[in-house]
Amino acid sequence: MSEVPQGVNLPAFARKPPRPTVTLTLTRDGENGVEVLLGRRAESMRAFPGYWAFPGGGVSRTDHEGESFVQNTTSGSTSAIVAIVREMTEELGVVPNGTSVSSIDVELRKNILEDKLAFIGALKEGNMKIDTSGLRHISSRTTPPFGPVQFENTFFHLHIGDQEFNPSTDLQTEFTALEWMKPFEMIERWKRHEIRVAPPVVTLLMEVDRTLNHFKGDMIQTAQDLAVRQPGRRSILFANGVEVVPVKTATLPPADHTNAYLVGDPEGEFVLVDPACRMREGMEELAEAVDRHSGELVAILFTHSHGDHIGDMDLLREAFDVPIWGSEYTAKSVHCDRILVDGEILQLGNQEWTVLITPGHHPGHICLHSEAGLIAGDMVAGIGTILIPPGTGDMDVYIEQLKRLEKIEPHLMFPSHGPVIPLPNKTLAYYIKHRMERHQRVLDAVKSGLKTVSEISVQAYANTPDAHPGLAQDQTLAHLLSHERSQRVKQTDQGWIRGDD
């Protein structure tokens, strides 16, 4: 991303209230201990494609209509109870029946999948036997402020004992696989980067596993304890060795936060990447995250020197007495105790992270790569777009570096703005295609005889009518300057012309 170009006025950004969602932690007594049911989300899903997650979804308007037909026996709202029962019918083909589940008619399930009102109709007509007494509300968590939409998630639990229940993915629109596994085994697979697991699911599974061990494998006592304690979100774990702390910054809307990352061994050495806080509140949030980390903070590392990445150095020195690491170019803006170079290996406890110098968005821009994925800085964004500043950026170099990152095939990408990027190569391929097409459109506009930045931007962005005119001109200039460096165009007193004219 980047700071907003000087002279460009963007509309005010208003954050919306969190949307209510529900999830179900369904457990059973397996042969070797308690198991939990998780599903692998289809890669076509907008949120967390390819991730393992609990069944669940959003609370719809129709769910409120079913409140008088479903008994609320826990602390969650009645509409949330209706929603989780409906999600069970859609995704698992069952409804809660006390401490077990009961299958519903296949045709009814098809009808519900096609129209949520069919679920309300079935409730009114008494076509489903429902007993919600086994459901427990075990946690509520609001998603981090990565974007304009946040979600208030209510986690329900249901333990079905030794009931034999192996749901099929037939009729599924969300999951491509459903699997029972022990919480500890799921966590270990996640730690080895074998699978992707949604951040709130990881931390809740860790809480379940810890509490389950405390109660010597008794899931009923575990659920009762969780229902009383209502453990909330503390850490946001994007991957094993990658914890994110969103810091409020003045960056390009719709983003209004920069992701600071704790990167490295969860039990050993780690670095704090891009602590961009300029207010004491942000500094205290970072300090709290560092304090609860089991390892040792060895350095602060800046991916680059844009203002929405480098925080108030006095505040940072007050909180963290550690060296500053950065690239040679970043050292021009902030004192760096260690200059990082391309290909350098950072040994952070039991994890190795490779330094990649990836200019284009900004000279000396740093990415970090390991088996966990790619700390991407401002090479890509989880929300919004990436600006290439005309003065310090280079569009050709930026595209070259995107292609370099694509060849690495990272497991995940962790951007400076927005949520984790779950399908890195799909995102990188889109960025490369999009930027190359825009690059060519700018060149074609000059070849067609257009000479001013404003004229060229109108033609170059004709396929993006909603683009902000100021940003469009700013980025058109970045394209032109890059073409000029490659001698494809040149600037004259009459404006921009072909390089061979």
386-410: buried (b, 16+ CB within 10 Å) or exposed (e) per residue?
A: bbbbbebbbbbbbbebbeebbebeb
Single-letter code of the amino acid located at 2: S
DSSP state of 52: E
Q: How many angstroms separate the most distant Cα atoms in the chain?
A: 82
pLDDT confidence of residue 499: 87
**For residue 337, what is the enclosing H or E element?**
none
DSSP string computed for 206-265: HHHHHHHHHTTT-HHHHHHHHHHH-------EEETTEEEEEEE---STT--EEEEEEEE-
CA nearest neighbour of 316 among 280, 292, 268: 280
CA-CA distance, 278 to 449, in Å (whole number)? 46
Do the beta carbons of residue 141 and residue 231 sit within 8 Å?
no
Whole-model pTM: value is 0.92
184-210: buried (b, 16+ CB within 10 Å) or exposed (e) per residue?
A: bebbeebeebeebbbbbbbbbbbbbbe
Dihedral sign for Cα atoms in the order 32, 138, 46, 170 = positive
Cα angle for residues 324, 328, 330 (degrees, 5° grid): 60
pLDDT confidence of residue 269: 98
CA-CA distance, 123 to 129, in Å (whole number)? 9
CA-CA distance, 391 to 260, in Å (whole number)? 26
pLDDT confidence of residue 203: 94
pLDDT confidence of residue 154: 94
Cα angle for residues 365, 367, 370 (degrees, 5° grid): 165
E strands, 398-498, where?
413-415, 489-492, 495-498
Residue 231, preceding peptide bond in cis (omega within 30° of 0): no
CA nearest neighbour of 403 among 364, 433, 361: 433
Q: Which two tokens mark 377? A: 């800085």
β-bridge pairing 373-377 and 413-415? parallel
E strands, 310-455, where?
324-326, 338-339, 345-348, 351-357, 366-370, 373-377, 413-415
28: helix, strand or coil: strand
Say which residues have a Cβ less than 8 Å from residue 282's Cβ, sequence separation at least 6: 247, 248, 276, 311
61: helix, strand or coil: helix
CA-CA distance, 270 to 264, in Å (whole number)? 4
Residue 297 CB neighbours (<10 A): 17
CA nearest neighbour of 423 among 23, 47, 95: 47
Say which residues have a Cβ less than 8 Å from residue 167's Cβ, sequence separation at least 6: 37, 92, 93, 94, 178
Grouped pLDDT means (10 residues each) for the chain, 501 residues = 61 70 97 96 91 94 89 86 95 96 94 92 90 95 78 94 93 91 96 94 96 97 95 88 90 81 97 93 91 94 94 91 97 96 98 98 97 97 91 96 98 95 96 97 96 96 91 96 96 92 71
E strands, 274-395, where?
296-301, 324-326, 338-339, 345-348, 351-357, 366-370, 373-377
CA-CA distance, 478 to 396, in Å (whole number)? 10
Single-letter code of the amino acid located at 9: N
Say which residues have a Cβ less than 8 Å from residue 113's Cβ, sequence separation at least 6: 90, 171, 173
Q: φ, ψ for residue 177 (rounded to 5)?
A: -155, 145
CA nearest neighbour of 450 among 501, 496, 499, 390: 496
Q: Which two tokens mark 235? A: 């850490």
Q: Which two tokens mark 123? A: 């409730």
Rounded (10°) CA dihedral 269, 273, 279, 284: -20
Single-letter code of the amino acid located at 294: S
DSSP state of 184: H
Q: For the chain, list the domains and their CATH numbers.
A: 19-229 (3.90.79.10), 237-422 (3.60.15.10), 439-498 (1.10.10)
